[in-house]
Amino acid sequence: MGFDQDWIEELGHLRDAKKPCVLVVVTEVKGSAPREPGARMIVERGKLAWGTIGGGNLEKLAIERAGELLARAGASSESVDFPLAEKTGQCCGGAVTLFFEPFRWKRRTIAIFGAGHVGQALAGLAPWLKADVKLVDGREEREIQPRLAADRPYELVLVDEPAAEIDELPADALVVVMTHSHALDLEIVERALVRGAFPYLGLIGSERKWARFKKRLAQKGFTEEELARVRCPIGVSKAGKDPAAIALSAAAELVEVLERSPV
């Protein structure tokens, strides 16, 4: 039996608007029930956004359950049995199993400071990082080498004061610092440490570079605990110095962090 496919379009609209929602599907029916298996509805902000699973108190309970599911951080899909008896205020006498699938649409942010060779290579991996990637630079586009690709899977942010962008990032953003200037690198790292504990704060460079930065930051009053949050050198491997190799190594490290701290 075929069913209306408009729910796919509705999910697409909600995804584009980044509105969290829950898809509720009737997966099993025993005895008499208001709808057949495959019936769907979409719940958004605790209200019915599309479709129906039969109305009445069953639908009301399902909408409440969907809201509770979205409110639980990290909660995944679940199936729930609903007997259609006095408890649910229904007199059908059967039972329905509903499948709840939450769509939070939220994607983490990865902010890469510096649009040089490694920065562009890392930002170009945005589709595989499964995050909203921002590539931030303080230069005009014509000044950046290598030339930026016309088709970009990331957001390019060109601003006079790149360090100020730190204050605009979400608290769960991952920050990678690799600008063309050591002085600017230091300024951005300092701003990030002042802002708070980002899940990842990486600085491109050698251990020697970090030793110099660490000394200067310590002189400014940062504690050993705060400085320990900085990852330098970056990446899971230190085997190569080619920009693509560094980008791949850094990307693997970012994926590990994302998987350890899911939305």
Rounded CA-CA distance 66/49 in Å is: 12
- Residue 234: what are its φ and ψ, rounded to 5°? -95, 165
pTM here is: 0.74
Inter-residue contact 240 to 251 (CB < 8 Å): no
Question: What would the pLDDT profile of 52-111 be if each residue is shown by its tens digit?
Answer: 998 888 999 999 999 999 888 777 899 999 988 655 555 556 789 999 999 988 889 999
Burial pattern 111-146, b for ≥16 Cβ within 10 A else e, equals: bbbbbbbbbbbbbbbbeebebbbbbbbbbeeeebee
DSSP 8-state secondary structure symbol assigned to residue 116: S
Which residue ranges form the domains of the chain, and what is each CATH number? Answer: 6-103 (no CATH), 109-260 (3.40.50.720)
Q: Which residues contact 190 (CB under 8 A, 6 or more apart)?
A: 163, 217, 220, 222
Mean pLDDT on 154-174: 96
Question: What would the pLDDT profile of 26-40 be if each residue is shown by its tens digit?
Answer: 999 988 788 899 999
